[in-house]
Amino acid sequence: MGSESFGRRIILTLRFIIIYIYVLFARDLPRLIWLKRKSIADQIVVITGGAMGIGRGLARKFAVEERAIVCILDINEVEGQRTVSEICNDGGRATFFKCDVSTPDSLRLCAKQIRNDSKLGEVDIVVCNAAVLRVGQILEMSENDFKVTMDINVLGYIYTIRAFLPPMIERDKGHVVAIASVCSYFGEHLGTAYCTAKFAVRGLMDSLQIELDEKRKRGVAVTTVFPYFTETSLVTDQLNEPFCTLLEVIPFEKCINAIVDAVLKERVSCYIPRALASLSLIRWALMTKCVVKYARRFMNVRYVPKTPEDP
């Protein structure tokens, strides 16, 4: 009970190393090098938090340029309808559904409405994007700040996946996308609520991928996106411009283009910029107290919440 014998562990480890090298060079690397973008024309794409920010940018890109049929789910009806109008005026197809992602019944109702709509139907891609940003030190923030962050940024993702995943599993066809963050790998000052939530999203998507593998549902793709600070209202309305020694705030269109490319190529992970992948690996490989402390000084990540006096 518990584990294999010492001798068998050595044999299994050597076997794994040989298989790993073969799979890496014979299958994964060629696949990554020659990935092709899939067509999503006429497919149904659901985006939570699609009324503003990254969600709005993705909705426009998918509907207008990729010719998909986009369903925008958001609590903000005014901005949601405005985004739909802009997309339709540009020749795209989009529909708005008012939805509170922190409420499972609201998501289940939207999923049912989309599935039963003669102009829509089965969802091909669901993008979990709805989020809030609450910043502050753990003893200064209210309990409600933490609750709202978890309800939307974590449970909202879980409820969204639970609402739209079952038909994908039945058909063995679909794609689940989660907009995570650089904060999924790096805890930071003032980030006890937001970073905690984004760490949870990474764990959620890793676990979902393994669940689908165990079910042998290889037709359901999973993509997790890890962007650095991006020029969106979520950031610019609440923070003075973040600073970092090596990284600049990501231009909005660059972020949107990178996410769309990752979705169309069904990448498992998408780091924006790509250097974040290496930084994330280094962060966990060198996770000693002193090294992390001096690395933070070198990176010099700084962001300050806006005050009422700030423009």
DSSP string of 51-79? TSHHHHHHHHIIIIIS--EEEEEES-HHH
Q: Is residue 51 part of a domain?
A: yes
What are the tokens at 171?
């058909």
Inter-residue contact 106 to 100 (CB < 8 Å): yes
Q: How far apart are CA 74 and CA 50, in angstroms?
A: 6
Q: Is residue 27 part of a domain?
A: no
Q: Is residue 16 part of a domain?
A: no
The pLDDT, as a whole number, for residue 229 is: 86
Q: Is residue 166 part of a domain?
A: yes
Q: Is residue 102 part of a domain?
A: yes
Spatial strand order in the sheet of 269-272: 93-98, 69-74, 44-48, 125-128, 174-179, 220-227, 269-272
Q: Which stretches of the chain score pLDDT less than 70?
A: 1-2, 234-243, 286-287, 300, 302-304, 306-311
The pLDDT, as a whole number, for residue 95 is: 98
The pLDDT, as a whole number, for residue 108 is: 98
Q: How far apart are CA 102 and CA 44, in angstroms?
A: 22
User: Tell me, what CATH number does 74's domain have?
Assistant: 3.40.50.720
Q: How far apart are CA 160 and CA 81, in angstroms?
A: 21
pLDDT tens figures, 154-192? 999 999 999 999 999 999 999 999 999 988 998 888 899
Q: Is residue 128 part of a domain?
A: yes
What are the tokens at 48?
């939570």
Total count of domains within the chain: 1
Q: How far apart are CA 158 and CA 160, in angstroms?
A: 5
Q: Is residue 178 part of a domain?
A: yes
The pLDDT, as a whole number, for residue 310 is: 53
Range of the domain at 47: 36-299
Q: Is residue 5 part of a domain?
A: no
What are the tokens at 162?
């639970």
